[in-house]
Amino acid sequence: MKKLYVVKYSGPFGFIKPWTAVRDSETFSQQFLTPSIVEGIEKKLFPELLNEIGIKKIIRHKLNYLGIDVQQERTWAKGGFQFSKEKGNYKTNLGILKRGVMLNPNLYLAFDTIGDAKIAFEQNLCLCRNEDILLPEDLIEMSADEFDEIAGFELKFSDKETGFKVGHNRYDNAAEMFGELVVSGNPIRGK
């Protein structure tokens, strides 16, 4: 049976949910990593892959957490700032949005080779927004069946026929991305 080399990352912090570029109060975003997010993580861990398109080394991933804390964030319109002289030079295009932050996340990355896993194990990760870091906690050798038993969300990358649309790939000319969401166990941990 084929072995996987799995690096578990964890952190005492929270991080913004990966698919949360919109208001969570309206959509309650999903808790999975899109192909372009996994590719971005891989490029951070293996900078020699920066000029290549596609995921080369991370063969699977899982994500679980303790809960979600909804936080407010002040933002402004993409079109730039507008000032109102009547209001004393206050910005007039500010808005408030709510974002969900995963608390105490665990991220598992699986590799084909022990060498790739060791390189990953020597580095930290930031997921999507660089607010809080995840640190490597364990390097574990396991079978694919054992990986399946880890509680968590995993998006198995697929095509239009077998999956649902999860966004556009920033590394591949905004190509559509598709996947099948697999939920194993209870991805929202009790401790």
| 76 Cβ contact partners less than 8 Å away, ≥ 6 residues apart | 91, 93, 94, 95
Positive or negative: CA dihedral 158, 161, 163, 169: positive
Q: Residue 122's CB: how many other CB atoms inside 10 A?
A: 11
Tokens read off for 121: 């194990």
Domains in the chain, start-ordered, CATH in brackets? Answer: 3-72+102-184 (3.30.70)
- The answer to whether the CB of 144 falls within 8 A of the CB of 1 is yes
* End-to-end alpha carbon distance in the chain: 32
Mean pLDDT of 60-70: 88
Per-residue pLDDT band for 63 (boundaries 50, 70, 90) equals: very high
Mean pLDDT of 76-91: 58
* CB hemisphere CA count around 99 (13 angstroms): 18
Mean pLDDT of the chain: 83
Mean pLDDT of 115-124: 97
Q: Residue 159's CB: how many other CB atoms inside 10 A?
A: 10
Flag the least confident range among 57-61, 115-119, 163-167: 163-167
Higher pLDDT, 126 or 65: 65
Per-residue pLDDT band for 125 (boundaries 50, 70, 90) equals: confident
